Structures are given as structure tokens and as C-alpha cells.
Amino acid sequence: MAIGGSCLGVSYADNHLFYSVNDPEKKDHLNHIGSIDFNFDVQQAIITGSENGFPAIKSSLENLKEKFNCSTVKILSPATEECWTIVPRSVYEDSSEREAHISLLMHGVQRSQVETTWIPVSNADYKLLLLRNTETMQGFNYLLGEFTDSEYVAEFEIGADWQTHSRASGSFMKVYCQKNYISAASFILGKLRGCTFIRHENAADLPYLWNMYADKLSWMNGLHDTIYVYGQHSHSVIESLSTFWDDSGPVQVMNSLQAMHVDADEKTYGFKLESAYPAIMMSLNKDAEIEDPTS
């Protein structure tokens, strides 16, 4: 984080923008946690550069920057605009195999527009490949242009930030609940085990979809010390998936400062605090270790 300024964490759901600002002088203390409501879908306005919505979001972030002296901003990058895949050593260590893999996954996108990041996982013979289309991310770039330092944070990285923050050493799963998709990430003994996201039209479809994905990804129904659930649509997701999680581990909704292991002067909020959890974790500015992008 730049010297002398706070870190602003930003996430969103539907027409809500959630933000959190840390106190750089006090460990794990937040200066402010808030929500701004618009009359449009925030994610779509950022990605499409909506003439009606985008300027309002940009103005709001610039106002927060000035009000709280924020030099750093971190914004959640939507899983639905990324590609996540686990690849074996034979692929990531061979340049021709690696490029063939990327070309297949990002078919139709010019290689110069593909940003790649390799992340270590618990099995040392594999790595997670994160792919982003830089054209899709242009709205985010422009949105954050006034800040000294800016960063996109993938949804599974919230779990890594939690691990650094809470010093969790066992196994846990993080489940982020949005209107039309959920993302899940499993961690064990300090490392990412796996992650995925599931699109759905209705939360009632999730039991079938979870079971289908878990047939290929065994960690989804594996044992966890805790399953942490958060996001605007947490409760409907829990209602749909509780039978799958009964044997996997206790469920913790991240809906209080105590659950998040943070402190703030404000104790009550006019919105679901679990919706702001990603913004809160990002604002703590506890970067997880991540490899440099492989070009």
C-alpha cells in the first residue's frame, strides 16, 4: 500500500456497491464500511461502460478516495469474466503445451489480449491458471485510474486473504453467493486446493448443479473445518445446499465483525454485512502470495 493512505476495498451485487476503508494506523480496524445503491446493475455498468451508470460509479469511487484519503484500491474481479483451470506440470512447464492450452480456453480472443496468472495449489504437480480478457477489464482500468495503486482481486483470492488474516491452518471452503452464480474455493494446510464457479438461473437448481460439479471436483464434498458463506444471496444458497454441507463441515455466515475478526467504530449497518465481506477482506490489504503473470 502506498505510504500515507488508506486502502479501499470494493465489491458489488445487483444494484449495490459495497466498500470498506481500512485504518492504516490500527491493525484490523476499519474506518468505514458502507453501501451505495444505484438504479442499475453495477457489474454490467462497469463491464459495458454504460453511459448512464459508469460515470456515477466512477464519481462515487473518486468521492470515497478524497473523503478517506485512499491511495490504494482493490476491486473484486467477477468470476464470470475469468477462466479458472487446474493444469498439470506437463502443461505449465512446456511453452508449446501451455500456449495451446491457453488458445483452446480463450478461443476467439487474441493472445495479446489474454492476461495469464499461475497460482500454486496444494498438489505441487499442478497449478491453477487464471485467464482474463484485457478488453473486458478495460472498464475496471478506467474506473480505478485516479488511484495511486489499484488491483483486481479474483474471488478465490478472498480465501487466501482470509487465511493470511485469520491464520487458519486447517481446511476450509469459501462460498461467494451472487444472484446468478456462486463461486467456491477450498484451502488446506495453507494452500489453495481447488476453485470453481457455478452459473444458475435459480438457487433451487443448485443441488443438481453442485452434485454434477462435485462428481469431477471431489474437494467440493470433502471435509472442511468450516464452510464460510457470504454475499448478497447467502441465505437462499444455504437453504439449497445445506444437505450437501451437513457432512462436510459447519457453516459460518460472515455477517458480523466478530466473525470476520475485524473491528470498526460502527457496529450496526443498514445492509447485509455478509454482502460487504469481500470488500472488507480486500481493504485489510493483506496480500496473499501469488506468482507473477506468465506472458
What total number of domains does the chain contain? 3
Same domain? For 120 and 183 the reply is: no
- pLDDT at residue 52, as a whole number: 86
End-of-domain residue from the set 118, 133, 148: 133
293, part of any domain? no
Instruction: State the Cα–Cα distance between residues 83 and 7, nearest whole angstrom.
Output: 27
- pLDDT at residue 4, as a whole number: 61
- pLDDT at residue 5, as a whole number: 86
67, part of any domain? yes
Same domain? For 153 and 245 the reply is: no
Same domain? For 174 and 48 the reply is: no
Same domain? For 13 and 51 the reply is: yes
DSSP E strand stretches across the chain: 6-13, 16-22, 29-37, 70-77, 82-88, 114-120, 126-133, 149-154, 171-177, 181-188, 191-199, 226-230, 251-253, 263-264
- CATH code for position 240: 3.30.420.40
C-alpha cell at position 99: 500456449
Amino acid present at 83: C
- pLDDT at residue 288, as a whole number: 36
Q: Pairing between strand 6-13 and 226-230?
A: unpaired
Same domain? For 26 and 167 the reply is: no
Domain containing 173 equals 160-257
Instruction: State the Cα–Cα distance between residues 33 and 40, nearest whole angstrom.
Output: 21
Ordered mean pLDDT values, 10 residues apiece, the chain (295 residues): 76 98 94 97 94 94 96 96 96 95 95 96 97 93 92 96 92 97 96 97 96 96 96 97 93 97 93 98 73 41
1, part of any domain? no
DSSP assignment, residue 145? T
Same domain? For 99 and 183 the reply is: no
